[in-house]
C-alpha cells in the first residue's frame, strides 16, 4: 500500500512547532497536556503527518507564545522544481538543524561564548571538521595501519 506523503506546508508548520517548542525547552508531553491531547499527536503534528487545524494552531501559538504567522515564516511556496521535488531553501536547512537536540544545544552553547575571536575560531574549527582531508582519510582507514 502506497502511503500518501505529507503536504510540504504541513511538514513546515510541524517543524516550526518543534523548533519553537525546543527553543522553550518544552517537552512534547507538556505541550500535549496544554492542548489536552497525547504527546503522540504532537509528534504527528511535528512530523507533518497530521495536519493542524486552525483552532488547534491558534491554541499551539498561544501556548508557545508566538503569533500564528510564525508557523508560516519561510514556508515553501509550493512550486516544485523540474524534478517534481520542492526546493529546500538554506533557511529550511537551518531551521531543520535547529529543531534537532544537537542543533539547539550547539546554538545555545555558542551564544554563551563572549569572545568574538574565539567564536570565529570555533566556526573555523567546525568548518574544517566538516571537510575531511586526505590525511584524515588515511588516519581513519584501517587499511592504512602499519
| Other Cβ atoms closer than 10 A to 133 | 9
Residue 31: which H helix or E strand, with range? helix 28-35
Give residue 134's pLDDT: 58
Domain count, the chain: 2
What's residue 33's pLDDT?
97
C-alpha closest to that of 37 among 19, 55, 10:
55
Same domain, 17 and 69: yes
54 CA to centre of own chain: 22
Q: Give the list of residues 6+ apart from residue 28 with CB closer than 8 angstroms, or none.
A: 21, 39, 42, 43, 46
Specify the pLDDT at position 120.
92
Q: Are residues 106 and 43 in the same domain?
A: no
Tens of pLDDT, residues 10-35: 998 999 999 899 889 899 999 999 99
Q: Which domain holds residue 136?
A: 101-140
- The model carries a pTM of 0.61
Listed in sequence order, the residues at least 6 apart from 27 whose beta carbon sits closer than 8 Å to its beta carbon are 39
Q: The CATH number of the domain where 36 resides is what?
A: 1.10.260.40
Amino acid at each position: 500500500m502506497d502511503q500518501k506523503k505529507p503536504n510540504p506546508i504541513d511538514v513546515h508548520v510541524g517543524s516550526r512547532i518543534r523548533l519553537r517548542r525546543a527553543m522553550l525547552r518544552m517537552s512534547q508531553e507538556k505541550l500535549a497536556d496544554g492542548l489536552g491531547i497525547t504527546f503522540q499527536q504532537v509528534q504527528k503534528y511535528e512530523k507533518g503527518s497530521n495536519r493542524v487545524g486552525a483552532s488547534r494552531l491558534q491554541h499551539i501559538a498561544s501556548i508557545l507564545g508566538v503569533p500564528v504567522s510564525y508557523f508560516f515564516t519561510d514556508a515553501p511556496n509550493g512550486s516544485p522544481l523540474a524534478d517534481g521535488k520542492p526546493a529546500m531553501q538554506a533557511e529550511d536547512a537551518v531551521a531543520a538543524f535547529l529543531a534537532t537536540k544537537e542543533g539547539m544545544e550547539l546554538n545555545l552553547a555558542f551564544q554563551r561564548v563572549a569572545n568574538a575571536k574565539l567564536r570565529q575560531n570555533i566556526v573555523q574549527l567546525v568548518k574544517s571538521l566538516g571537510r575531511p582531508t586526505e590525511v584524515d582519510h588515511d588516519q581513519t582507514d584501517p587499511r592504512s595501519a602499519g
